[in-house]
Amino acid sequence: MTMLRTFLSTCFTALCCAALPTAALAQQTLPTPVENTRIPVEDVELDGIEPVRQATGPALWLVSDEDSRIYLFGTVHALPDGLGWYTETIRTALEGSDTLMTEIPMQPEDDAYLAQYALEAGTLPQGTTLRSLMNTEDLAAYETAMTGFGLPVETFDSQEPWMAALALSILPLMQEGYSADQGVEKKLIAMADDDTAFGALETIEYQIGLFDNMPVDDQVDFLLATAGQIDKTFPMMDAMLQEWLAGDPDGLAQIMNEGLTEDDELTEILLYNRNANWVDSIADMLAGSGNVFIAVGAGHLAGPKSVQELLGQRGIAVTRVQ
């Protein structure tokens, strides 16, 4: 249980941000970060969409037939400011699409609902505390981890373990300047044409339910694993970001695959099953007509049982266009 739970939890950045109890939490002291050498990708001027021959930025794929064009774009849900990922190819695809689909609804009113729903779902009953759910050994490990990175041990006492785990997952990224407001989906929504329709592959309730419906013991394990890996969160995400900017899904998959065999059940629930559900939706879109731009976490478009691989198993051709 090394990097897998950290990777899977950071795939849910919108939920992670909603999980944070207060904005002040981001100001808690963590170890001083090492200066990074993140390099933005320059925009590429292209007249149209052609099959890719060389990586020119974050990967973009196309599924099409005579009356449908469905773009698949792998995203990073939270980013530092100032990265140059919005290429001419992506702009052309987005502006040529009738609908922009994200994992969950992400309009301003949806953000408010997400925060409220996550708070209600992730708050423990009155009289129960997070630490009261742990045995003596787990409690000692948890409190040692919390004090080790400068957080009061009672910080998450009112939260269910899954909620606390998500908050801990995003905290190191926030301190490095990552923000959901700079995330790809938020930027795509802002840049979409006024007549663009918006849709989602999943509901907010479904995504939160993936965690909230976990047995309590599994939630505690999730939290302890996250706390034990917090020093690896930023280095892992920064490495994934470099592969994403370089348009290298194989490199991204290599990082993911370091832990994918360690918890097969969790991987099925949070990654593979969702990919299969999305493939059903894409097949239905393809049976209809129109142009759709689908933006989902880049991890879903890399590695084994990716969306593209599952589409290929159905005989649906996927062409990389960036």
When pLDDT is cut at 50, 70 and 90, the band that residue 121 belongs to is: very high
Q: What is the pTM of this model?
A: 0.86
Asked whether residue 52 carries a pLDDT value surpassing 50, the answer given is: no
- What is the mean predicted confidence (pLDDT) over 236-241? 87
Closest CA to 170 of 1, 14, 318, 4: 14
Tokens for 227, please give them. 């706390």
pLDDT digits (tens, 9 = 90+) for 68-115: 999 999 999 889 988 889 999 999 999 999 999 999 999 989 999 999
Amino acid at 42: E
pLDDT at 28 over 80: no
pLDDT at 118: 92
79 backbone dihedrals φ, ψ, rounded to 5° = -140, 155
Average pLDDT over residues 120-149: 93
The one-letter code for the residue type at 96 is G
Quickly tell me which residue has 């690896």 as its tokens. Answer: 232
Question: Which residues, in sequence order, are CB contacts of 297 under 8 Å at separation 6+?
Answer: 11, 74, 75, 76, 77, 103
pLDDT tens digits along 152-199: 999 999 999 999 999 888 888 888 889 888 999 999 999 999 999 999
Classify 44 as helix, strand or coil: coil
State phi, psi for 38 to the nearest 5 degrees. Answer: -65, 130
User: What residue segments make up the domains of the chain, in order of their start?
Assistant: 4-20+49-320
Please report the pLDDT score of residue 51 as a whole number: 42
Relative to beta strand 99-102, strand 290-297 is parallel
265 compared with 198, residue with greater pLDDT: 198
| 211: nearest Cα among 3, 14, 2, 1 | 14
Amino acid 164 reads: A
> Which pLDDT score is estimated for 45?
38
Q: Which of 19, 15, 21, 76 is nearest to 208 (CA)?
A: 15
Please say whether the beta carbons of 237 and 10 come within 8 A. Answer: yes
